[in-house]
Structure formats: structure tokens, C-alpha cells
Amino acid sequence: MSKEKRLEAIQREGSALSLTRQCELLSVTRSSIYTVKKKQVESELNLKLLSLIDLQYSKHSDFGAERMHTWLVMDMGYKVNKKRIERLYYKVLGLKSLLPGPSTSTSRKENKKYPYLLRNMAITKENQVWATDITYIRMPHGFMYLMAVIDIYSRKILHWSLSNTMDSSWCCEVIKDCIDKYGVPEILNTDQGSQFTSDDFVYNVINQRIKLSMDGKGRALDNIYIERFCRTIKYEYVYLHPCNTATELYKGISQYMDYYNKERRHTSLANECPDDIYHATLNKLMAA
């Protein structure tokens, strides 16, 4: 059966199987079902600028669009206007400076925002608080987007997905698949991006009786655990192993996630691995 036929066989609604399980059975990548939206094709100049912005932001995450424009013009010699860099920085890459300041959120004004609930909260068990975010991954002719869900207590990456578009329906499916596998958390923390403040995402979360927490505007450190993971996977895998295709990227990230959860020791976890911490309570209950 051709790939096109396999994609047509996937049922977005009304199936007893999740989209992730259907993709596994039909041997197609999860991101394949989100390729229907026509993407804007970036010029060669924009692709070069995107790559430079990506690398510079990884080194200096305090750079906002204005400082990034100054760096590109004065240090790198590019003759580009500020509006171009603002579009690439905010809309294409979805970046935000880690320093408080204006225009650091890509949320829509008409979308409802929720308060940040984690300030001074003691997180003492698994599935108490999850956090999620989307990061971009440079490809030879554009970008892929990685969405990941982390359990803050154990630092375990519970679920992840790749897509070539940042679609709110994709975000809903990622959270749904994560809940199907691990149960319902007490709190889900996100930033104020338009995907996470959209009505369909918000209602899908609160209808599960999950409390929704959102970073304050200009406060990227409120979502620090998932932000750190996005930075870690880029330095430990993405930058070291550039991929030419989405399939190659999917396989590589899958292997890295296994390593991150099962083998990579975290100093913040007393040098334990996320999987061990996440399953520790369950193992104690089974042994009792």
C-alpha cells in the first residue's frame, strides 16, 4: 500500500485507536498527517537568516528581535530591515527573549489567558504537574517543530511529536495521546503561544478537569523545565546530528528520547534517571 493510501486510511475521529497508534500500525510518521497545510516557502536569504538566528539564540537566549537585528546588521553584515527579522524571530521560529520586555509573546489578544499556578508550589509527585512547549528544528529547506510534554517532578519526557506546522489540533492530539498513556495530571503548564491559548486546546484541557497554568508575559523562566529540555536536545542531538529528512529526524529523536529518559542521569535528581524517578512510587506500591 502506498504512503498516500496509508495516510487516507487514518481516522482522525471515531476510531478506538489513537492517532499515534494508527500511525504505528500503518508505518507512517506522526507528522505526516499534519502536512496538508500549505507552508510559506522561505527565500534562500531567509533560510540563512533563520539558521543564524537559531544558532545565536541558542548561545544568547536574552536576545530579543531588536538585538538580533542589530547583531545581524552590525556584526554579520546583512542589509535587512527590522520587520523581516521580527517576522522570522516571532512568527516563524516563535522565539522570545528570556529577559522581561514588550512583544515577547506570540499569543492572540482575543484568546483567553490563565494565571501561572506554579509559583512557590511544592512539586512532590509524578503527574502533579506537566509542562509542554514547542521548539523548532532546522532542516535543509525549512523547519520541523517538536512538541514535548515533561513531568516536572521526574523530568521524564512523557510524550513528543514532530510536525511541519504548529497547528492547535496537533497540540490537542499530543496532549490526548499523553493522557491516554499516563493518565490525567493535576496541572498543565504552557506558555501563552496562540496554539495553547486557542479555544480548542483550552477546552480540551479543562474538560479533562486539568488546571491550566500559563507563563506570565515576558517570563520564559516560568516554564524553565521544558525550556531547558528543548535547549538540551538541540545541543546533545540536533546540532551534532543534522538530518536531511523528517523520517531520519524522527528516528534520531526517538533514540535520543530513550537515552534521555532511561540512561541520562540528572544532577537535579541526585544523579538518577527520569524513568526511575517517575516509576519509583509505582514500584513501591507494587512491592508493598
pLDDT tens-digit map of 88-120: 888 877 776 654 433 333 544 555 778 889 988
pTM given for the model: 0.71
Q: Facing residues of 213 across strands?
A: 189
Identify the helix (H) or strand (E) that includes residue 158. Answer: strand 156-163
* N-term to C-term CA, the chain: 50
Measured CA to CA, the distance from residue 40 to residue 84 in angstroms comes to: 14
Angle at CA of residue 97, ends 261 and 118, nearest 5°: 55
Does pLDDT of 36 surpass 60? no
Domains of the chain are: 129-287 (3.30.420.10)
pLDDT band (50, 70, 90) for residue 37: very low
Sheet containing 211-214: order of strands: 156-163, 142-151, 129-139, 187-190, 211-214
Helix (H) / strand (E) containing 281: helix 274-287
